[in-house]
Homo-oligomer: A and B are copies of this chain.
């Protein structure tokens, strides 16, 4: 079925998001212009506004999409019984998920301050939801006496900070596979919270 020349609604939208993701991650939201994004996609700047109301909404959409993906993927993990198994699964999942989309991770970390207050609150709430999943695991382990942490909330944030840090150094062409990285981090996490 023929299309009006120059009309590509089904592919331009995703391409805008993809280009914006890469550019925001590389240069930062405030440093990237709508003209740059349009140039990457191959359209004029004005055409972007057929897909997004404004630049802020584009940033929010990218971050919201990332957080939704994170929580959805997290929900799909198999239900495990022991705190140790659940923690190991969380470590594996967190590392694999974050190494799989470093740009989105970077943006969702770095561009929080460029969100409007309302948008910031939404993303923060999703981040809390994710943190709570780990906190519940640590709390269960502590209740059962298999974990021992001085402060469950701090331990939660410390473990997440440690794991997310993997994105700052991991390179696909490096000496370690994702599986090996997971094993190395699991060894440290396991010991850090052990009774």
Query: Is A47 positioned at the interface, with any CB of B under 8 Å from its CB?
Result: no
Query: Is A26 positioned at the interface, with any CB of B under 8 Å from its CB?
Result: yes
Query: Is A146 positioned at the interface, with any CB of B under 8 Å from its CB?
Result: no
**In terms of DSSP, what is the predominant structure of the interface of chain A?**
helix
Instruction: Determine the residue in chain B with the shortest Cβ distance to A153.
Output: B169
Query: Is A71 positioned at the interface, with any CB of B under 8 Å from its CB?
Result: no
Which B residues are CB-close (under 8 A) to A193?
188, 191
Q: What 10 A-B pairs are tightest by C-beta distance, nearest first?
A: A161-B165, A30-B30, A30-B31, A192-B192, A162-B162, A188-B192, A150-B184, A158-B162, A191-B191, A151-B184
Size of the A side of the interface (Cβ < 8 Å), in residues, is 37
Instruction: Determine the residue in chain B with the shortest Cβ distance to A183.
Output: B150
Chain A 90-118 per-residue mask, 1 if CB under 8 angstroms from chain B, else 0:
00000000000000000000100110000
Query: Is A155 positioned at the interface, with any CB of B under 8 Å from its CB?
Result: yes
Task: List residues of A (27-75) whose CB comes within 8 Å of B's CBs.
Answer: 27-31
Query: Is A168 positioned at the interface, with any CB of B under 8 Å from its CB?
Result: yes
Contact of A188 among B30, B113, B158, B176 (CB under 8 A): B158
Q: A145 to chain B: closest CB distance in Å?
A: 16
One complex includes copies of this chain to the number of 2
Please, how many angstroms separate the alpha-carbon atoms of A161 and B109 in the complex? 14
Which B residues are CB-close (under 8 A) to A192?
188-189, 191-192
Residues of A within 8 A of B (CB): 26-31, 110, 113-114, 149-151, 154-155, 157-162, 164-166, 168-169, 176, 181, 183-185, 187-189, 191-194
Please, how many angstroms separate the alpha-carbon atoms of A160 and B158 in the complex? 10
Q: A8 to chain B: closest CB distance in Å?
A: 31
The winner among A181, A184, A194 for most chain B CB atoms within 10 A is A184
Which B residues are CB-close (under 8 A) to A162?
158-159, 161-162, 165
- Indicate whether A157 sits within 8 Å of B150 (C-beta atoms), given known contacts A28-B113, A30-B30, A113-B28: no
